[in-house]
Chain A
Amino acid sequence: NAGVTQTPKFRILKIGQSMTLQCAQDMNHNYMYWYRQDPGMGLKLIYYSVGAGITDKGEVPNGYNVSRSTTEDFPLRLELAAPSQTSVYFCASSYSNRLTGGYEQYFGPGTRLTVT
């Protein structure tokens, strides 16, 4: 299994440009997540999905959009890039059973985005 994969690894955007960060997992996990990591701030949840067709906002959703048309893929869209979106973005997935808890999340290698 490849686990969680993310593309691209690095990207530089100009202010106002748009782009899509790709994320895919091959573990048949129902839950997927997008985080951003800023130095000294830990990870902040942007959006998450509990299954195909279902998404919900996390702690810092402004400026981003997501969709989940398949179990495997969970792309993150930036419509009008701003310098405040310079960050490292991580995608993660997990299997969650509503009857039990304690699941762990599996992380991708990250996308380093710079907006200038």
Chain B
Amino acid sequence: AQSVTQLDSQVPVFEEAPVELRCNYSSSVSVYLFWYVQYPNQGLQLLLKYLSGSTLVKGINGFEAEFNKSQTSFHLRKPSVHISDTAEYFCAVSEDYGGSQGNLIFGKGTKLSVKP
């Protein structure tokens, strides 16, 4: 069965520093990968997704993620964070059943706290 592990529950970082939020998954078939962001008291918003092709995916707000099939990882990065990036970030995976798509499985989330 598929699963998603976000290795850090909380990541504190200073403003303008780089950040990496780690995500590993397990699955016996091909997968689609997503990162969502949740600002306080709001719903989830898509940051970026990997479907196929280039393993480096760029998203909104300067975030990017790299799909590494051999390490079954999909880590999220930003070279310079802002106070406004303070939020909870969720990695999610769904399995590819030869074109159709399984339900999303979410990690437990990583709270990014950007300090001035």
Q: Which residues of A contact B (CB under 8 A)?
A: 4, 33, 40-45, 48, 58, 90, 92, 96, 98-110
Interface of B is mostly: strand
Is B43 on the interface with A (CB-CB < 8 A)? yes
Contact call B43/A110, Cβ cutoff below 8 A:
yes
Residue of B nearest to A110 (CB): B43
Is B32 a contact partner of A102 (Cβ separation < 8 A)? yes
Contact A100 B99 (CB under 8 A): yes
Known: A42-B109, A58-B103, A109-B42. A102 touches B51 (CB 8 A): yes
Alpha-carbon distance between A58 and B102 when the two chains are bound, in angstroms: 11
Question: Is the pair A102, B42 in contact by a Cβ cutoff of 8 Å?
Answer: no
A104 x B34 contact (CB < 8 A): yes
Q: With A and B bound together, what is the CA distance between A33 and B105 in angstroms?
A: 12
Measured between C-beta atoms, what is the minimum distance from A39 to chain B in Å?
Answer: 9
